[in-house]
Each structure stands twice: as C-alpha cells, then as structure tokens.
Amino acid sequence: MATTIEAPRSPYSRAPRSRGINWEKWGWMYMRASGLVLVVLIFGHLIVNLVLGDGIKAIDFAFVGGKWSNPFWQVWDCLMLWLAMIHGANGMRTLVNDYASHRTTRGILKGALLFSVIVLITLGTLVIFTFDPCPAGAPADLLASFCPAS
Amino acid sequence: MTEYADGSVVDGVHYHQFDIVIVGAGGAGMRAAIEAGPKANTAVISKLYPTRSHTGAAQGGMAAALANVEEDNWEWHTFDTVKGGDYLVDQDAAEVLAKEAIDAIYDLENMGLPFNRTPDGKIDQRRFGGHTRDHGKAPVRRACYAADRTGHMILQTLYQNCVKFGINFFNEYYVLDLVMVSDGFGGQKPAGVVAFELATGDIHVFQAKAVIFATGGFGKIYKTTSNAHTLTGDGVGIVWRKGLPLEDMEFYQFHPTGLAGLGILLSEAARGEGAILRNSEGERFMERYAPTIKDLAPRDIVARCMALEIREGRGAGPHKDYVYLDITHLDPAVIDAKLPDITEFARTYLGVEPYTEPVPVLPTAHYAMGGIPTNIQAEVLSDNTTVVPGLYAAGECACVSVHGSNRLGTNSLLDINVFGKRAGNSAAEYVKTAEWVELPEDPAAGVRTLVENARNSNGTERIAIIRRELQESMDRNAQVFRTEESLTEVTEVIHNLRERYKNILVQDKGKRFNTDLLEAIELGFLLDLAEVVVYSARNRKESRGAHMREDFPTRDDVNHMQHTMAYLSGDPMSADAGDHIRLDWKPVVVTRYQPMERKY
Amino acid sequence: MSTATLDSPPAPADDVIPTFTVTLIIRRFNPDTDDEPTWQDFDVEMYPTDRVLDALHKIKWEQDGSLTFRRSCAHGICGSDAMRINGRNRLACKTLIKDLDITKPIYVEAIKGLPLEKDLVVDMEPFFASFREVQPFLIASSKPEKERIQSVAERARFDDTTKCILCAACTSSCPVFWTDGQYFGPAAIVNAHRFIFDSRDEGANVRLDILNDKEGVWRCRTTFNCSEACPRGIQVTQAIAEVKQAIMRGKP
C-alpha cells in the first residue's frame, strides 16, 4: 500500500528543553538592538564619507588612512563591522533554516556562513587596528604621496 | 475475557478497556469527563475533534438566577422553565436545573470562562426570551454571557479543563453500536461501545462499566436548520435501535431568527439587547401576540407568530417570505460589544449591514426537546421507571425532561452543564462498585456488517438526494405547523426513502477517512429518527409548545398532559410505521405548578 | 377593475437568481492508491451567494463521493474546514464564491505544514499537541465561593484571543512553521496569550517560560501571514509581540 504522505520535514517531537542559554531569544534581541545601533553607525558613516566637507570627492586612500589613524573612527568602523556581519549572518541563518530542506545541506550552509563570518571579521578587525598607511621599508614608488620620504 | 484484554487486537478489531466511556465531546460530554476523569479511568470518544462540537455555535447565554444585576431567584427560573415548556416539563427536574444553575455558572467561571462583566466586576447578565421576574411580570436579566459567543467559550473552557486533567480522547472515532448484555434479572446493561476509526477504517471495541451518551441532536432531519452537518442523531439512533425508548420526539424547536434561506442562527440575545421583529409594514407584530414581553416571548410562540405573519401576507421581501430582525436603533458600540458575531454573519452571508438595515430572518430547526429518557441522575430509562444500570445520557440527546414541549433560550447550555456534571458523577459513583460486564462473542460483528454493507453499496440512489428529499419533506410537513394530512404525507415519503436507501451508492470504497461511507450510515439514523418524530407527532392530537397541530389547535390537558414514549418494536423496514413503532405515555412530574393558560 | 393579464403578470425576469459555472481545481490524494497528490478539475453550477463549502458539497454529493474534507457547523464557528483557497488559508464555509475571481478556476488544497492524510484532510494531532503544551487552562489557586471578580477593562485585555477556534489557518500559513513543524505556531501562542493576560490567572510565568524557548515566540518573524489568515479577525501577530514583550519584562 502506497502511503506517501507529505509531512513536515521532521516529525513533531520537541526536544526536551535545554536549560542553557536561549540563543533564539538573545538572537532576537540582538537583531533589534544591533539594527538600531547600525542605523546610527551606517548613516553617520555615509554622512561623514559622502556629504560633509568635499563630499564624495574627498575620498581617496589618504582619506581612509586619515580616518583610521584616529581611534574614534577605528572603534566606529570596527563596531559597524562586527554588528553588521553578525546581523547579516543571523539573518542568512533563518533563510537557510527556511529554505534548506535537508539536514546536511542546512549544516553545510550554516557552517560555510559561520566560517566566512569568522574570516571576514578577523581580517577586517586586523586591518582596522593594524592599518599603517606608510609601512616602513616599503619601496618608495608604492608609498602614498603624503608619507614622509624614507 | 483475556482474549479481549485492553490493547489487544483480535481479528483486526482493537480492544480497549475503560471504567467509563463517554460518547460525544460537546458540552455535556466534556462536562461529564471533567467530573468522571479524575475519579475513574475515563475515555471520551468523539466523531469530531472536541472543539468542533456544536456547543460552540450557541451564542446568547446560559441562564442562572445569580441576581447580579437585578432581583431574581431560582424558583422564578423554575417557573419560567415549566411555563415555557407548556407544562410538559418534569418539575422535579426543572427545579434541579434552576437550583444547580447557579453553581454551574460559578464552576465555569472558576474553570476560566471569560464572562462579560458588570461595572463592579461580577458576571453580567442579560434578558432572554421567556425568562421573567416573579412569575411572568416582566423580563428579567438572567442570562450570563460572553458577547454572543457563550457556547464557544463554554466549549473551549471545557476542552481546556479536559487538557488540564489529561482526559483520554479518541477523536474522529464514530461510535456505531452500544453493546448490551443481559443483566441476569430480565433486563439489559451496557458492556461497552463499538466505534469506527475514521482515519484508518479500523473497528474498535471499548469495554466499559458505564457508558454516557452525550451525542447531541439531529437537526439534519430538517433542511433549514441551525444545526451542523454532523448533527445526525447517531447516539439517539443507536439507543433507538437497541429497543430502548425515546421520549417526546415530536417536540422539535424552531428558532425564530435564522438567517433567511440559510438557517444560520442569529441569537435571541439580539432581542434580549432590544432588537425588534417587524413585518413588511414595519409593524412590531409581537406586540399584538404577547403584549407583556413582546419580542421576548418563548421561541415556539415567536416562531409561530412569524409564520402567521408570512401566511397572512405580511412577509417582507420580493416573495413576502420572511420577516425582519431590526437592530438599527441600537448603538453600534453596543452591537460590537455584545453581538459581534451575529452581525458578522449577516454581513458575510446576506450582505446586509445590521447597523443600518434590518436583517431578513425565518424560523430554523434548532433543538430537539425529546430524546433518550433519563431520570434526574442522568440514568437512562428502559421504560417509564426502570433504570438501565450503567447507562447514562446528557445534553440534547437526552430528555430529562427539563424542556417539556418547548425549551427556553439559554436553558440548553445550562442543561449540558447541570446534567453533564450529574452524568459524570453518577457514572463515577456507579463504577466504584460495579463489576466488569463480560463482552459477548465478537462484539464488533454488527458494526462490521453495517460498515461493510455500506461500503459495498453499489446501487443507483445518491445519498445526498435521499437526504435532501427527507429534509425538504420534513420542512414542508413537520415544521412549525402540522396537520394529520401533512404528517401522513411525510410518513409515506420516509417509507419510500427507506426503500430507496436499500439501493444507495457509496462511491468511496477506501478505508481511510471514508466520509462517503460515514454519510451513508448517518442517513440511516436520520431516516429512523425522522420517522419517530413524525409518528409521535401524529399521535399527539393537541397543540402544545413547539408542537402545533392546526387540526387540533388547543392544548388538551385531559388526554395529553403526558410524555410520549416511543419503542422500536418490529422490523423498521415494514411499510406501516405502526408495525414497528409502539407508543406509550409517561406521566409528567408535577410538584408546585398546576397547568395554567400560557399567556405572555 | 383590471384585466386578467394584469392580475397575473409573468414573473419578472430579475426574479430568477442567475447561476454560473465555476471550475474548482482540487488537490486530491488518496493514501490507499496514490504516491503523490494530483490536481483534479470539477465544474459546478453555483449561485453567487454560495460558499466554497457548498461547491465542495455539490461535487461530493453529485459527482464524486470520494472527495474528502472536514466540515461541521458551516458558518465559521467550529473551525473544521480550514483549507488553502487560491493560495490563501481560509474557512471554506466563510468564503463566498462571488468574492473570488470566478473567471479563473478556484484552486483548493489542504492546509500546509501538517501531514496530508487524504484530499483536503490533514493530521491535526501535531497542531493540538503544541496547543496542549502551552498549558491552555486557567491556573489559579484561590477557591472563591462565587465568581472571581474581574473588571471590565481586565476582561477586555484578552478578549481578542478568546475568539480562537483552533482551525489551524494561522499556524499552517506561517512560513516558520512550514520549515520544520517544530515552532509552537501562532495558534498555541494565541491561546497562551489568552491566559497570560487574564487577570485571574497565576500561571503566566510558567507559560512565558515555555514560550521563551528556541521554538517559542522568538522564531516569529512578523510576516503577518497568521493575522491575515485568521477567520476570526484575531490580531495574531500583535498577540505574539505582546507575549515577547511580556517575556522581556518578566511579567504580563
């Protein structure tokens, strides 16, 4: 007898409640809190970069270099990086949960997501805090014009 | 008995064992379960998921003389019930009903029912048809309510409490037989019930020390009805086929305000809140018929007056075939707060805006006053006095009789709570000392034959057509007005339909969720019950309550101040109903109130 | 006074209510014989005032008796006949044919996310299991002699969520529920809300704790499908949001 029945992806069996940290709750709160902070950070970023002063024309290597020599902008950009990456990744996670029907696919996609987030955050943070526009010992023709000639 | 142990499967039949089996998960069934469940091993078997039961469609309220908003007492309530039932009410039972109403309301409130409240936080109450102050002096506010969803709230609250107590439910199991065995003293007693599991098509035998029937009514014998499609009188029909009597089956209530053409109920609460019935001339015609309480007269009277208005050419609409329910003078805020659902029905189904337009209404078949006779302990009777040990009935399927020949509005929600509770308690008390009754050999044999015969029906007659012809004939001949002639006509129709029923077609031959098969079996019960209704109605040659004989227009207390008892006494297929239905009388219990003329 | 012809005028033409042919395309599945559900067409003659349920009945009663669906009260109170009609969850008995675009066929299929049993019938057990889990009953220790006192305002606080008929239209329209069926679902949360905000109830914290779960309210992504699907007009998404706030506050 053929009894193929379209079922939900997994049978209804709620796992016993774990007493650990409720990541869904904190995730939910994080999304809202980070969203609010990101609105301020991103619009601040856009205004400073694109509107104030000479606006978009002012942006060049020196402009970025100048900003990252200031600890205020280092913290600003670092916060933006972390909040946005985690916010976006968590959003992607819900999409994966919704649309990836197989356990293994879900696992692979979420693993890849986690990996890329870690790599991007690590790289980005490193860049923000170790950025040196005029590295010592670099060939002169590669250095920016404002660098003191070595 | 070991061969039928709990959980065993013999020849494809599943066997279960419970102290108490309740058939039906509406208000009465679940109220009984809440009493019985904590005291005995109880199962509730229902054709539907419990929250689908038709208790949920009740709207207006539940009567109890709480006196929260004005002076009232249960004795007045008893009197109104007796008078409303045109003195065919067993007065001891009515007294129980009115007295225990008060606790029944508090029980529900304590279980969590969200009643509407008065400004000081008590349960609010409103007016309802036939409920009066001091023996008929003026309408009284007695109906406790939750907007126009009182039944919905009762059903949900009872189900919630069944969840709380962890009651065993067998949902979508259709009980088809009651297993009766000899009690050794010339009588019979129940050993259990046999059910058909809709999801799988398997047969289950539930062995039980006590069985409670709470299966509701059989409004589907009529075409225009407020009843659900599933109200086909299965429980009453099963009891009937076992040779047990049915009481007062001729009394069927027609609710005055069904949406015209559809039969969907518009609560009497509308009139309790001030709605007015008007004819085509805009006249408030109830003033002529019931000068004291006007639109709040009992349902039998209002339904009859509406039919008279239409008959005398004062009906409204293009065909002059309905009257209007007018709430346009009420404040929209009041309507929204107290009558939200029924106004939505008018909008959805008739496209009428009740704030500004009157709503077309017509009487609709609503409630069976009669049913399985019980005493006030909810014990089923096998004749006028003999109790069937271990068998109980409560709710619309039962006839205690608290409603006599016409039930008052709000007394049915009360009935299910008071007598549902009593049935649960009586059964729990009974099973403490009762022994298991041994099941007969192959107790499922009858049901297996019934189901397989239906499944293998390859005739030419469509179930729906036979059912419609039955319903149309019942509407035409056995509705608000009846005569010997009309009743004779419908008797013949039923006999012919029975013949045709032998030749039905069931197209679905599958096992799982075979609702085609289900409808075929339900139709069998409808035909049986319609015949009892009509046969009992022919025999009552008087007009009383909901039973209006135009050829005998007055009440005859000398000959007919007694209950009808009908027994299946022969082959139901025989041409003459008299060959297989035996009628008898049962005296009415009179305590305080002698019959008087019924004036409002 | 008048001629015979005037005495008996012919019935006016507008007296006859016109019928029209509607095509229903129904997703059929017979567990005894089919591997996969298939779509099947039916043509029925209907009146404008008829409902989708009437059309289904007409098919079952006149054409194909094996068409299977649940129904009972037929006026939107019992919650039996929630189904997906033209891609939206509705009650068949509350959906008038004239309110749909009848120039096109009407698509009818079972609600989604619950195991399909036959034609338009699904297994409701997972739905009710999740309802039972939120402790949907009054938890109160006091034993009053009469009724408990509750002000009109306190009663109004949870009025909206008392209207639920457990038809599953909301839960089976929720994309989060569709994913794995483990989410409590809007209906269970609505029924928890009904007690969390009932002034007589003392179990709010128990229920808030139950719903503060990884399958609880936090999975709601406010797509508003549930509010749109609810045949009783309950503001479901709002109720869920109120429960979230109550969890964060730690009290109703």
Q: How many domains does chain B have?
A: 3
B264 and B226 inside one domain: no
Q: How far apart, in whole angstroms, are the C-alpha atoms of residue B489 and residue B500?
A: 17
Across C88-118, b (16+ Cβ under 10 Å) vs e yields ebbbbbbbbbeebeeeebbbbbbbbbbbbbb
Please give, rounded to a whole number of angstroms, the shortest distance from the CA of C224 to a CA of chain B.
Answer: 23
B342 and B404 inside one domain: no
Q: Which residues of A touch C33 (CB under 8 A)?
A: 2
Stretches in chain C below the pLDDT threshold 70: 1-16
**CA B120 to mean position of chain CA atoms:** 35
Stretch (H or E) spanning B486: helix B484-501
C-alpha torsion sign, points B272, B277, B282, B285:
negative
* Closest alpha carbon to B254 in B468, B467, B479: B479
**Segment B514-536 mean pLDDT:** 97
- pLDDT at residue A54 in the model: 81
A146 part of a folded domain: no
- pLDDT at residue B455 in the model: 95
B247 and B374 inside one domain: yes
Instruction: Look at C155 and B117 and tell me if their CB atoms are within 8 Å.
Output: yes
| Domain ranges (residues) in chain C | 20-122, 124-139+155-249
Q: Is residue A60 pLDDT above 90, yes or no?
A: no
Percent of chain A with pLDDT over 90: 43
**CA C209 to mean position of chain CA atoms:** 27
Q: Is C245 on the interface with B (CB under 8 A)?
A: no
Note the pTM of the prediction, 2 decimals: 0.92
Q: Reading across the β-sheet that carries B323-326, which strands appear in turn?
A: B252-259, B359-368, B323-326, B276-278
Which residue, B431, B455, B472, sits at the end of a domain? B431
A149 part of a folded domain: no
**Residue of chain B minimizing CA distance to C51:** B349
Residue among C33, C129, C182 whose CB faces A10 most closely: C182
Which CATH number is A56's domain given?
Answer: 1.20.1300.10
A29 part of a folded domain: no
Count of CB pairs separated by less than 8 Å, A with C: 70
Q: Is A28 on the interface with C (CB under 8 A)?
A: yes
Is the model more confident about C11 or about B301? Answer: B301
Give the pair of three-digit tokens for residue B253: 């209530």
Specify whether B314 is catalytic.
no
Across B498-527, b (16+ Cβ under 10 Å) vs e yields bebbeebebbbebbbbbbbbbbbbbbbbbb
Over residues B203-214, the pLDDT tens digits come to 999 999 999 999
B262 and B212 inside one domain: no
Q: Reading across the β-sheet that carries C106-109, which strands appear in turn?
A: C38-46, C20-28, C106-109, C82-85, C88-91
B228 and B281 inside one domain: no
Answer yes or no: is the ipTM higher than 0.90.
yes
Instruction: Look at A5 and C32 and tell me if their CB atoms are within 8 Å.
Output: no
3-state helix, strand, coil in chain C (%, to 5): 35, 15, 50
Decide: B359 and B350 in contact? Cβ < 8 Å. Answer: yes
Give the pair of three-digit tokens for residue B95: 């007294």
Q: How far apart, in whole angstroms, are the C-alpha atoms of residue C191 and residue C185?
A: 10
Residue among B161, B462, B506 whose CB faces C137 most closely: B161
**Phi and psi at residue B318, in whole multiples of 5°?**
-60, -30
Q: How far apart, in whole angstroms, are the C-alpha atoms of residue B454 and residue A27?
A: 57
* Closest alpha carbon to C131 in B23, B164, B109: B164
Over residues B427-478, the pLDDT tens digits come to 999 999 999 999 999 999 999 999 999 999 999 999 999 999 999 999 999 9
B306 and B393 inside one domain: no
Residue from C180, C217, C240 whose CB has the most chain A CBs within 10 Å, to mutate: C180
B269 and B304 inside one domain: yes
**Phi and psi at residue B129, in whole multiples of 5°?**
-55, 130
Percent of chain B with pLDDT over 70: 100
B409 annotated to a ligand binding site: no
Q: Which residues contact B213 (CB under 8 A, 6 or more apart)?
A: B23, B24, B235, B238, B239, B372, B380, B391, B392, B393, B394, B397, B398
Q: Which residues of A touch C130 (CB under 8 A)?
A: 12
B176 and B305 inside one domain: no
Q: Is B347 on the interface with C (CB under 8 A)?
A: no
Question: B31, B142, B149, B299: which is the annotated catalytic residue?
Answer: B299
How long, in residues, is chain B?
A: 600
Instruction: Look at B515 and C68 and tell me if their CB atoms are within 8 Å.
Output: yes
Q: Which residues of A touch C115 (CB under 8 A)?
A: 5-8
Residue from C111, C214, C223, C245 whose CB has the most chain A CBs within 10 Å, to mutate: C214
Q: How far apart, in whole angstroms, are the C-alpha atoms of residue C102 and residue C95?
A: 13
**Residue of chain C minimizing CA distance to A100:** C179
Strands (DSSP E) found in B408-491 = 461-462, 481-482
**CA A142 to mean position of chain CA atoms:** 30
B110 part of a folded domain: yes
Looking at chain A from residue 52 to 91, which residues have their Cβ under 8 Å from any Cβ of chain C? none
B77 annotated to a ligand binding site: no
Q: Which residue type sits at B13?
A: V
**What residue numbers bound the domain in which A96 lies?**
34-133
Residue from A25, A31, A106 whose CB has the most chain C CBs within 10 Å, to mutate: A25
Over residues A105-126, the pLDDT tens digits come to 999 999 999 999 999 999 999 9
A4 part of a folded domain: no
Mean pLDDT, all residues of chain B: 95
**Segment B152-160 mean pLDDT:** 98
- pLDDT at residue B350 in the model: 92
Mean pLDDT, all residues of chain A: 83
Would you call B174 helix, strand, or coil by DSSP?
Answer: strand
CATH code at C124-139+155-249: 1.10.1060.10
**Segment B548-553 mean pLDDT:** 95
How far CA B542 is from CA of B554, B567, B588, in Å, comes to 6, 21, 16
Q: Which residues of C touch A12 (CB under 8 A)?
A: 125-126, 129-130, 181-182
B174 and B281 inside one domain: no
Count of CB pairs separated by less than 8 Å, B with C: 160
**What residue numbers bound the domain in which B168 lies?**
15-62+90-119+144-251+367-431
Q: Is C137 on the interface with B (CB under 8 A)?
A: yes
The fourth-level CATH superfamily of domain C20-122 is Beta-grasp domain (3.10.20.30)
